Amino acid sequence: MKPEGIQNRDRIILNNSHSSEHPDSLSGVNNEPLFIAESSISPPPYGRSIWENPTWNGAVLPEHDSTVGPRNAAVNSLRSAPLPTTRTSPANRIPSALNNTHSVADRNPRTTSGGSAGSVGVPVLCYHHTFSGNESFGGYNIPPDRLERQFQQLLAEGYQSISLRQFTGAMRGELHGLPDKPVLITFDDGLLSNYTEAWPLLKKYNLRAVLFLYPTILSAGKNNYLNWDQARTLARSDLIEIGSHTLWHPLLPSMSELEIEKQLVESRRTLQTRLGVSVTALAYPFGVYDRRVLAAARKAGYDLAFTIQPGQNLPGDDVYTLNRYMVTGSQSPATFQAMLALRSADDIRIAPADGEYVRFGESVEIRTQNISNVTAQLNGKAITLHNHGSEYRGLLPESRTSRGYLPLVIRGRDAHGNSVYREFLYLEKTHFAHNQ
């Protein structure tokens, strides 16, 4: 997934029928068998491929250009987010959500034991580059020495890395055997440094990690990226699990439903076939999705799908819009610690729902329980809210956006006075008019 530059929802209870072993999950439309990605889908034209990937034509997409920086609106909104420390939050990125398939009025807040407002849940870290040297790679390079210090910091603070299986159990509320301070470590895009730099450190500190890969880059033979043999070696490690990052890292909402389905189904099938592993998790490229993408993730058989919006993950959360903290090269140890401590508000409902297409000036409704001092911003612009008990209403302000992403950030205080933070994703209706 990439932070806005690389920049990354329908929370449902996991269903065993979505297991990676389920035969239907490996078939395409009308149960027709799908071909391996590299033989069935051609490389994408410029503008529909990955952020800085030179695989197709050597160009850098503006959103990943180091002169532009990561998804600026979302980054700026998070920088100003209240944290349970005196420091400001790191330059992270976008969305998170709830099971918003119905209107706000239809929904009740969760009452699971781990799901009260401001509960401390499971943080998920999102890394990309871990190359040596001074190259920042758009701000997303964490040199090996800094990565090692962060691993040491995690262990010193009592965090223990967990597997996807453990994480899935935590989201289901099956918390037996989970460490007191769990953390899930992920790496996006399949950079060569995952093999040469990160893996040795994971082994040194006995830490687990998930690699979110997309098949076309593994087949491309490009510098700085893994090939299939290296990916296979990593997949055989007891410390490494493999997830899907689609076929070629496209902006999924720009695609037709059939194209989205191919991206999700064929990438999963290809990774499972070529690497001999079970693929149960998906990371959305750029952290961007709409309601069609969420539905396609469920249909493709994924148990989990991740965004790149900050916040911890709580039992009962929407497993198709899971939060991840973007780790960037500018974060200090104190900021890294504060990021992990950021509390998520789990009892917020919104209408329109997360992942919907909206127009500026449209009404938005926010319903909360046990949260006070609620404020909201759309793409960094304040929303004037009118309080009606536990409901807040306002109009979506006009906000300049070149790509149609509209992060909705909600902040407040829980019953204990802790700062809480929640991020959702809207898409500008006129920008994606062809999908309406």
Q: Considering 283, 312, 346, which residue would you say is the last residue of a domain? A: 346
Is the pLDDT higher at 426 or at 57?
A: 426
Q: How confident is the model at residue 52 (pLDDT cuts 50, 70, 90)?
A: very low
Say what the pLDDT of residue 120 is: 55
Quick one: 102 and 195 in the same domain?
yes
Mean pLDDT of the chain: 76
- CA angle in degrees (0–180, nearest 5) for 10-15-17: 125
Number of domains in the chain: 2
Q: SS3 string of the chain? A: CCCCCCCCCCCCCCCHHHCCCCHHHHECHHHCECCCHHHHCCCCCCCCCCCCCCCCCCCCCHHHCCCCCCCHHHHHHHHCCCCCCCCCCCCCCCCCCCCCCCCHHHCCCCCCCCCCCCCCCECEEEECECCCCCCCHHHCECCHHHHHHHHHHHHHCCCEECCHHHHHHHHHCCCCCCCCCEEEEEEECCECHHHHHHHHHHHHCCCCEEEEECHHHHHHCCCCECCHHHHHHHHCCCCEEEEECCCCCCCHHHCCHHHHHHHHHHHHHHHHHHHCCCCCEEECHHHCCCHHHHHHHHHCCCCEEECCCCCCECCCCCCCCECCEECCCCCCHHHHHHHHHCEECCCEEEECCCCCEECCCCEEEEEECCCEEEEEEECCEECCCEEECCEEEEECCCCCCCCCEEEEEEEEECCCCCEEEEEEEEEECCCCHHHC
Q: Are residues 335 and 379 in the same domain?
A: no
Q: Tell me what the mean pLDDT of segment 45-70 comes to.
A: 32
Q: Does 8 map to a domain?
A: no
Tell me the two tokens of residue 106: 């239809």
pLDDT of residue 93: 29
Nearest-angstrom CA–CA distance, 42 and 34: 14
Assess contact for 328 and 82: CB atoms under 8 A: no
Name which of 44-58, 229-243, 314-328, 358-372 the model is least confident about. 44-58
Asked if residue 168 and residue 156 are part of one domain, the reply reads yes
Higher pLDDT, 421 or 84: 421
Task: For tokens 């920088």, name the residue.
Answer: 79
**Tell me: the pLDDT tens digits for 335-344?**
999 888 888 8
Distance of CA 381 to the CA centre of its chain: 23
Q: What is the CATH number of the domain that holds 363?
A: 2.60.40.1220
Burial pattern 194-205, b for ≥16 Cβ within 10 A else e, equals bbebbbebbeee
pLDDT score for 390: 87
Identify the pLDDT of residue 391. Answer: 94
Decide if 395 is inside a domain: yes
As a whole number of angstroms, the distance between CA 252 and CA 297 comes to 11
Residues 342 and 403 in one domain: no
pLDDT surpassing 50 at residue 373: yes
Q: Is there a single domain that holds both residue 311 and residue 236? A: yes
Query: Is residue 283 a part of any domain in this protein?
Result: yes
Question: Residue 347: what pLDDT?
Answer: 82
The pLDDT score that the predictor gives to residue 424 is 95
pLDDT at residue 49 greater than cutoff 90: no
Asked if the structure places residue 208 within a domain, the reply is yes
Least confident of 54-58, 190-194, 215-219, 305-309: 54-58
**Nearest residue to 262 via CA among 34, 18, 11:** 34
* pLDDT value of position 172: 86
Tokens 């819009």 sit on residue:
321
Residues 207 and 339 in one domain: yes
pLDDT at 435: 59
Tell me the CA distances in angstroms from 124 to 18, 66, 159, 305, 412, one per residue in order: 22, 24, 12, 12, 22
Q: Are residues 207 and 76 in the same domain?
A: yes
Residues 371 and 313 in one domain: no
283-318 pLDDT per residue, tens: 999 999 999 999 999 999 999 999 999 999 988 889
User: Does 279 fall in a domain?
Assistant: yes
Residue 68 has pLDDT above 80, yes or no: no
Q: What percent of the chain has pLDDT over 90?
A: 58
CA dist 23 to 17, 31, 181, 269, Å? 10, 10, 36, 11
pLDDT for 61 equals 31
55 confidence band (pLDDT: 50, 70, 90): very low
Say if residue 5's pLDDT is above 70.
Answer: no
Q: Please indicate, yes or no, whether residues 37 and 48 belong to a single structural domain of this protein.
A: yes
**How confident is the model at residue 69, as a pLDDT?**
32
Domain end residue (candidates: 283, 311, 346): 346
Residues 348-362 have a mean pLDDT of: 96
pLDDT of 432 reads 83
307 touches 425 (CB < 8 A):
yes
Domain assignment of residue 354, given as a range: 349-435
Count the Cβ atoms, other than its own, within 10 Å of residue 253.
24
Same domain, 281 and 388: no
38, pLDDT greater than 70: no
36 and 177 assigned to the same domain: yes
Mean pLDDT on 316-321: 92
Where is the domain boundary, 320, 346, 372?
346
Both 158 and 207 in one domain: the answer is yes
Q: What is the pLDDT of residue 105?
A: 29
pLDDT for 389 equals 83
- pLDDT on residue 124: 97
Q: Is the pLDDT higher at 401 or at 35? A: 401
Assess whether pLDDT exceeds 60 at residue 89.
Answer: no
CATH number, domain at 47? 3.20.20.370
Q: Say what the alpha-carbon torsion angle 310, 431, 51, 339 is, to the nearest 10 degrees.
A: -10
What is the sign of the dihedral through the CA atoms of 373, 379, 380 and 383?
negative
Query: Which of 173-182, 251-260, 342-351, 415-424 is predicted most confidently?
Result: 251-260
List phi, psi (to 5°) of 435. -95, 0
pLDDT of residue 29: 28
Both tokens of residue 122?
């499971």
- Pick from 43-47, 293-297, 386-390: least confident: 43-47
Give pLDDT, residue 111.
29
Q: Mean per-residue pLDDT for 246-275?
A: 96
Strand pairing report for 182-188 and 124-127: parallel
Q: What are phi and psi of 105, to 5 degrees?
A: -65, -20
d(C-alpha 171, C-alpha 178), whole Å: 11
